[in-house]
Amino acid sequence: MFTTCGFKVGLPLCEAFLAFGNEEYDKALSLMMPVRRQNSRLGWSIAQRHVIALTVVQAAINARNYRTALALLSELKELKPNHRTTAQMFSTVKELCEQGKK
Protein backbone atom coordinates (compact mmCIF):
# COMPACT_ATOMS: atom_id res chain seq x y z
CA MET A 1 0.00 0.00 0.00
CA PHE A 2 1.30 3.43 -0.96
CA THR A 3 1.16 5.89 1.93
CA THR A 4 0.15 9.54 1.81
CA CYS A 5 3.84 10.37 2.08
CA GLY A 6 4.50 8.13 -0.90
CA PHE A 7 2.02 10.08 -2.98
CA LYS A 8 3.25 13.47 -1.82
CA VAL A 9 6.99 12.76 -2.02
CA GLY A 10 7.65 9.47 -3.79
CA LEU A 11 5.39 10.04 -6.77
CA PRO A 12 6.86 13.45 -7.69
CA LEU A 13 10.37 11.98 -7.33
CA CYS A 14 9.47 9.09 -9.64
CA GLU A 15 8.00 11.52 -12.17
CA ALA A 16 11.12 13.67 -11.85
CA PHE A 17 13.40 10.71 -12.53
CA LEU A 18 11.36 9.85 -15.61
CA ALA A 19 11.62 13.45 -16.81
CA PHE A 20 15.36 13.44 -16.12
CA GLY A 21 15.75 10.21 -18.10
CA ASN A 22 13.81 11.79 -20.97
CA GLU A 23 16.16 14.82 -20.83
CA GLU A 24 13.34 17.09 -19.65
CA TYR A 25 15.59 18.75 -17.09
CA ASP A 26 13.43 21.82 -16.40
CA LYS A 27 10.50 19.53 -15.63
CA ALA A 28 12.65 17.25 -13.45
CA LEU A 29 13.93 20.25 -11.53
CA SER A 30 10.46 21.70 -10.98
CA LEU A 31 9.18 18.34 -9.72
CA MET A 32 12.13 17.73 -7.39
CA MET A 33 12.54 21.16 -5.82
CA PRO A 34 9.35 21.11 -3.70
CA VAL A 35 10.06 17.64 -2.27
CA ARG A 36 13.86 17.53 -2.15
CA ARG A 37 14.01 18.07 1.61
CA GLN A 38 11.21 15.62 2.34
CA ASN A 39 12.72 12.45 0.92
CA SER A 40 13.84 11.37 4.41
CA ARG A 41 10.14 10.79 5.15
CA LEU A 42 10.32 7.79 2.82
CA GLY A 43 12.81 6.09 5.14
CA TRP A 44 15.73 6.06 2.75
CA SER A 45 19.36 5.93 3.80
CA ILE A 46 21.55 9.03 3.96
CA ALA A 47 23.39 7.81 0.85
CA GLN A 48 20.13 7.45 -1.08
CA ARG A 49 19.08 10.95 0.00
CA HIS A 50 22.44 12.28 -1.17
CA VAL A 51 21.87 10.71 -4.59
CA ILE A 52 18.54 12.57 -4.76
CA ALA A 53 20.30 15.83 -3.83
CA LEU A 54 22.97 15.33 -6.49
CA THR A 55 20.29 14.47 -9.06
CA VAL A 56 18.49 17.75 -8.33
CA VAL A 57 21.79 19.58 -8.80
CA GLN A 58 22.49 17.76 -12.06
CA ALA A 59 18.99 18.56 -13.32
CA ALA A 60 19.64 22.25 -12.61
CA ILE A 61 23.00 22.09 -14.41
CA ASN A 62 21.52 20.26 -17.40
CA ALA A 63 18.70 22.82 -17.52
CA ARG A 64 21.44 25.50 -17.54
CA ASN A 65 19.96 26.95 -14.36
CA TYR A 66 23.40 27.52 -12.88
CA ARG A 67 22.39 29.87 -10.08
CA THR A 68 19.96 27.29 -8.69
CA ALA A 69 22.63 24.60 -9.03
CA LEU A 70 25.11 26.80 -7.17
CA ALA A 71 22.61 27.46 -4.37
CA LEU A 72 21.88 23.73 -4.04
CA LEU A 73 25.58 22.91 -4.00
CA SER A 74 26.16 25.54 -1.32
CA GLU A 75 23.60 23.76 0.84
CA LEU A 76 25.31 20.42 0.22
CA LYS A 77 28.72 21.90 1.05
CA GLU A 78 27.37 23.00 4.43
CA LEU A 79 26.08 19.50 5.15
CA LYS A 80 29.16 17.69 3.83
CA PRO A 81 32.06 20.18 3.68
CA ASN A 82 34.68 17.57 2.70
CA HIS A 83 32.68 15.78 0.00
CA ARG A 84 34.92 15.73 -3.10
CA THR A 85 32.16 15.42 -5.73
CA THR A 86 30.24 18.35 -4.26
CA ALA A 87 33.39 20.49 -4.16
CA GLN A 88 34.24 19.67 -7.79
CA MET A 89 30.71 20.39 -8.97
CA PHE A 90 30.64 23.64 -6.97
CA SER A 91 33.85 24.87 -8.64
CA THR A 92 32.58 24.02 -12.11
CA VAL A 93 29.17 25.63 -11.62
CA LYS A 94 30.71 28.70 -9.99
CA GLU A 95 32.83 29.20 -13.11
CA LEU A 96 29.73 28.89 -15.30
CA CYS A 97 27.95 31.50 -13.17
CA GLU A 98 30.89 33.84 -13.43
CA GLN A 99 30.85 33.48 -17.22
CA GLY A 100 27.44 35.18 -17.17
CA LYS A 101 25.26 32.14 -17.53
CA LYS A 102 21.83 32.19 -15.85
In the predicted model, is pLDDT for residue 101 greater than 80? no
Residue 1's pLDDT is: 45
DSSP 3-state assignment of 98?
helix
What digits encode the pLDDT tens for the residues 12-68?
889 999 999 999 999 999 999 988 877 666 666 777 878 888 999 999 999 999 999
**pTM of the predicted structure, to 2 decimals:** 0.82
In the predicted model, is pLDDT for residue 86 greater than 90? no
Which one has a higher pLDDT value, 101 or 83? 83
Distance, in Å, from the CA atom of 36 to the CA atom of 16, rounded to the nearest integer, reads 11
* 54: CB partners within 8 A, 6+ apart: 76, 85, 86, 89
Residue 46's pLDDT is: 74
Residue 3's pLDDT is: 60
Residue 96's pLDDT is: 87
Distance, in Å, from the CA atom of 94 to the CA atom of 50, rounded to the nearest integer, reads 20
Distance, in Å, from the CA atom of 81 to the CA atom of 75, rounded to the nearest integer, reads 10
Which one has a higher pLDDT value, 44 or 73? 73
